[in-house]
Amino acid sequence: MNAIEHTEDVAPVIYVSPSPHLVQTATSTRRMMVDVLIALAPVVAMSLFVFKGYALFQLAVCLAGSLAAELIFVKMRGKPSTLKDCSAIVTGVILAMSLPGTAPWYIGIIAAFVAIGIGKVIFGGLGMNLFNPAMVGRAFVMISFAGALAASGFEDVQSTVDAVSQATPMNAYKMNGVVTPLVSLFLGTTNGSLGETSALACLLGGLYLVIRRTASWEIPVGLLTAVAIIGGLADLMGPADGWTILHHIFGGSVLFGAFFIATDPVTSPLTPKGKLIFGFGTGVLIMTLRLFSGYPEGVMFAVLLMNALTPLINRWMIPKPFGEH
Amino acid sequence: MALNLDGYEGNGSFAHGIHPPERKHFSKDAAIRVMPTPDKVVLSLHQNIGGPCAPTVKARQAVTWGEEIGKGTSFVSTTLHASIPGVVQRPMRMTLANGRHMDTLPIKAGGEIPEDRALWDEIFGGTWPTTGLDAYDPAEISRAINEGGLVGLGGAAFPTHVKITPNDKKPVHTLIVNGCECEPYLTADYSLMMEAPEPIITGALLAGRSVGAERIVIGVEDNKMPAVKILKKAANGTGIQVAVLKTKYPQGSEKHLIQAVIKRQVPLGGLPSDVGVAISNVGTMAGVARAVIHKKPLTHRVISITGGGIANPANVLAPIGVSFGALIDLCGGLTKNAARLVAGGPMMGFAFSNLDTPVTKGTSGLTVMTKQEVAAGEQTVCVRCGQCVDACPMNLVPTKIALAARHQDVDLSRRYNIMACFECGSCAYSCPAHIPLVQLIRAGKASVAAADRA
């Protein structure tokens, strides 16, 4: 066809197509995934800075696992490769950032295979999954390898990396009432899952996602509002132990979850109102788990539970069309 | 942004919508060219929403310019006139740009018709009265408009006399004249507002009088400030106001223009008269003035021939029924990289390929787009990002409707209010997965309509 078009004196080739004849070409599904990766950059950088080799190791394991799983499972379905949509890379990075640096190699691999295989491809691939794939993988290994992912699994007193030799702030508070200074929580020089420790990095990346409209602002706003309200109430009604609203927000993976996990468009509602409800519900569940369950943190289970409610929220939140009173 | 117009509640905009590239530069500053009378025109007997015309002439009959050749068959229908003098040929079926096969009356040119500036002066020239219009009885205005064959020239082609006939049950308090032209590329209304503001004002006064409107306002987007200035000058002393609206697609949609000006929502399935409004395009108003004052019918209209695929973009005053091919020739032909011919603008216009396709009363433009201009992204799966929801001016959930349509699930389509969609294309424009949402929804609407008939 190109040969014809470049020949002189040949009439133009006219194409017919239904309207609209203009589309925004600057955005694409792939571009959204790349946006998430760009937004994850400060988080990854901070994790490399704080956890050094541990972070590099988990990233390598989870990325390799995710890409291999995507390749194998999609091939098993007899579909063309989907590696270029970059969604497997996003899952790999988010999964790595949600694991403790100390987790052995097979945990990352198993989590990645479960994330991609059972979390996503089994439903029909990108766009069809009900649950956030990375969280499906993480929940699987958390239950299967309770020791490695329990609070004690995060610590290695022998480690030369400072952060890893300490208890996580969430566990230190839950078990011993030790309150980590806010500055450490904000900057992220504490122990924890690789990507969750630095509130600053999460906020930077999250802001980028929201400005690019790759993530909907309604979800983090709803989530953080719920955490702030319940955290504030807990602070007022509980003992004056120094764990404030800001500790609730900066500690653990609230910010990482609010901006990078709950905002997964596939597993969150479609309408603005639905997104607010989804975010708020996630926040309520996070705080419920934190305050009343045996776990020090609850972001993963909160997101998975709300994922399950997403189809219902979509159904309840059909907006009123323009002109209907 | 505020509308800053006393007595008007709207804020000059509406919720949602999109900001596509305007691309009006191709033809914005081109003065209106008068097309030399073509050898032939082909007049569709069905050019409007509602019923078709029945022909009132026979083959081989000679007709003069503006002679009636078809009569409306129902109230929502109107008269058809010979847009050039000549001899009526045998009726034939033609496919219009919108894909509908219609009976048409071809006319072979021959006879008296002014050319060039004389034609312009005959149609839009002279002085247009803004006072003493009380002499025209509302019923007389309405009849003259029907006899003049006027339909909405913005594109929908709804018979104008139906809109401006007073209805005791639904009194109209406001006449809104639509000068938004929110479609990218098109500049037909803009150039008419620039060059012929007087007949627009006179027509608006007449239509307002006929429908019993207490106030008249012309809505123009803020990317057309020169037209605002000229209209304000022409409207001086008549009581007609000009509302400057936010440039946003689809601002020119009837319902959204009403929202932007008076902050009322036309109920679903309802008409502007349900909120006390009559609304009509600026070009239509100029036609009304001519039909009422000079008793002359609609035979010509301004058409934008624009886009990167046309050699010399222009705004052309052309007879209705002329072929798109003749218009393309007039504008220097297609460029080598022309890739799509669109009757109308790129958001809601119809792509066609046959150059013999005739222009109808509702044809506001011919947009010739190049390969680069129509570049579409690769279609991928829906990731439920909700950008279509944020874009939809009707506050629908396009992706869900499209999904229901794909599965021909009529109940689900209805639950998501599929019939409220007016196919503006905002969703498909915004979709990062480049899913042909409008096409799917259109198919879904057809399924719902079929289910309703069953």
Reduced to 3 states (helix: H, G, I; strand: E, B; else coil), residue B69 is strand
Cα→Cα distances B1→A105, A300, B4, B10, B380, Å: 57, 43, 9, 10, 37
Mean pLDDT of chain B: 94
**What pLDDT sits at residue A55?**
95
Compute, in degrees rounded to 10, the torsion defined by CA atoms B114, B117, B119, B124. -160
Q: Is B76 on the interface with A (CB under 8 A)?
A: no
Q: Give the nearest partner residue to B383 out of A16, A20, A29, using CB atoms.
A: A29
The residue among A56, A33, A32, A53 whose CA lies nearest residue A44 is A56
pLDDT at A227: 96
| Per-window interface: A 163-222 vs B, CB < 8 A | 213-214, 216
B325 near A CB under 8 A:
no
Instruction: Indicate if the pLDDT at residue B188 is higher than 90.
Output: yes
Phi, then psi, of B284 in degrees rounded to 5? -65, -40
Q: Which residues make beta-bridge pairs with B159? A: B151
**Looking at the complex, does the CB of residue A28 fall below 8 Å from at least one CB of chain B?**
yes
B19 in A contact zone (CB under 8 Å): no
- Which one, of B301, B311, B309, B314, lies nearest residue B342 by Cα? B309
pLDDT above 60: residue B177: yes
The whole-angstrom distance between B228's CA and the closest CA on chain A is: 27
Q: Is B126 on the interface with A (CB under 8 A)?
A: no
Residues 35-64 of A with CB under 8 A from B: none
Cα dihedral B228/B230/B234/B235 (nearest 10): 10
Q: How far A8 CA lies from chain B's nearest CA (Å)?
A: 9
CA angle (B317 as vertex; B338, B241 as ends), nearest 5: 110
Task: Say what the pTM is.
Answer: 0.91
Residues 67-96, chain A: which have Cβ within 8 Å of B?
85
State the Cα–Cα distance between residues B160 and B151, nearest whole angstrom.
5
- Cβ contact (<8 Å) for B417 and A321? yes
Whether A323 sits inside 8 A of B267 (CB atoms) is: yes
Peptide bond just before A20 cis, omega within 30 deg? yes
Q: Does the distance separating the beta carbons of A322 and B394 come in below 8 Å?
A: yes
Q: Which of A209, A210, A214 is nearest to A26 (CA)?
A: A214
- The pLDDT of residue A157 is 79
Report d(CA A65, CA A141) in Å as an integer: 14
Q: Which of A18, A24, A320 sits opposite B429 (nearest CB)?
A: A24
- In degrees and rounded to multiples of 5, residue A197 shows phi and psi of -70, -35
Nearest residue in B to A216, CA atom: B385
Mean pLDDT of B366-390: 92
Task: Provide mean pLDDT across the span B325-336.
Answer: 95
The 10s digit of each residue's pLDDT in B91-100 is: 999 999 999 9
d(CA B106, CA B59): 9
Counted across chains A and B, CB pairs separated by less than 8 A come out at 178
**Residue A22 sits at the chain B interface (C-beta within 8 Å):** yes
The verdict on a CB contact (< 8 Å) between B400 and A314 is yes
A31 touches chain B (CB under 8 A): yes
Report residue B221 as tokens.
Answer: 């987007």
Binary contact (B377, A125; C-beta < 8 A): no
**Which residue(s) pair with B344 in the sheet?**
B366
Q: How far apart are the first and last CA of chain B?
A: 48
CB B328, CB B355: distance < 8 Å: yes
Chain B positions in Cβ-Cβ contact with residue A11 (cut-off 8 Å): 334
Residue B398 has what pLDDT? 97
Interchain contact A314–B (C-beta under 8 A):
yes
Question: Which residue of chain B is at minimal alpha-carbon distance from A325?
Answer: B267
pLDDT tens across the length of chain A (325 residues): 344 444 456 678 888 999 999 999 888 999 999 999 999 999 999 999 999 999 999 999 999 999 999 999 999 999 899 898 999 999 999 999 999 999 999 999 999 999 999 999 999 999 999 999 999 999 999 999 988 888 778 888 788 888 888 889 888 888 888 899 999 999 999 999 999 999 999 999 999 999 999 999 999 999 999 999 999 999 888 877 888 999 999 999 999 999 999 999 999 999 999 999 999 999 999 999 999 988 888 999 999 999 999 999 999 999 999 998 7
Domain A2-316, CATH number (from 1.10.3470, 2.60.40, 1.10.3430, 3.30.450): 1.10.3430
Q: Is B437 on the interface with A (CB under 8 A)?
A: no
Q: What is the pLDDT of residue A4?
A: 44
Q: Which two tokens stand for residue B415?
A: 């639950």
Binding-face residues of B in 258-317 toward A, CB within 8 A: 259, 265-268, 270, 309
Report chain A residues whose CB lies below 8 A from the CB of B425: 19-20, 22
CA B242 to CA B5: how far, in whole Å?
Answer: 9
Contact A25 B20 (CB under 8 A): no
Q: Do residue A25 and residue B377 have CB atoms under 8 angstroms apart?
A: yes
Q: Which CATH number fits domain B3-32+118-293: 3.90.550.60, 3.40.640.10, 3.40.50.11540, 3.65.10.10?
A: 3.40.50.11540
Tell whether the torsion through CA atoms of A245, A251, A257 and A258 is positive or negative: positive
Integer Cα distance of B176 and B314 in angstroms: 28
- CA–CA gap between residue B159 and residue B147 (Å, rounded): 11
What span, in angstroms and rounded, lies between the C-alpha atoms of B227 and B218?
A: 11
Is B400 in CB contact (< 8 Å) with chain A?
A: yes
Domain assignments of chain B as residue spans, ordered by start = 3-32+118-293, 35-113, 387-453
Handedness of CA A29, A31, A36, A37 (dihedral sign): positive
| pLDDT value of position A7 | 47
How much is the pLDDT for A8? 52
| pLDDT (tens digit per residue) in B190-236 | 999 999 999 999 999 999 999 999 999 999 999 999 999 999 999 99
Q: What percent of chain B is predicted at pLDDT more than 90?
A: 90
Alpha carbon B445 to chain centroid, angstroms: 22
| Beta-carbon-side half-sphere exposure of residue A287 (alpha carbons within 13 Å) | 22
Mutate to test the interface with A, among B389, B423, B445 (most CBs of A within 10 A): B389
Cβ <8 Å between A321 and B390: no
Cα distance between residue A318 and residue B426, in whole Å: 19
Start-to-end Cα distance in chain A: 53
Tell me how far apart the alpha carbons of residues B25 and A24 are, in angstroms, rounded to a whole number.
19
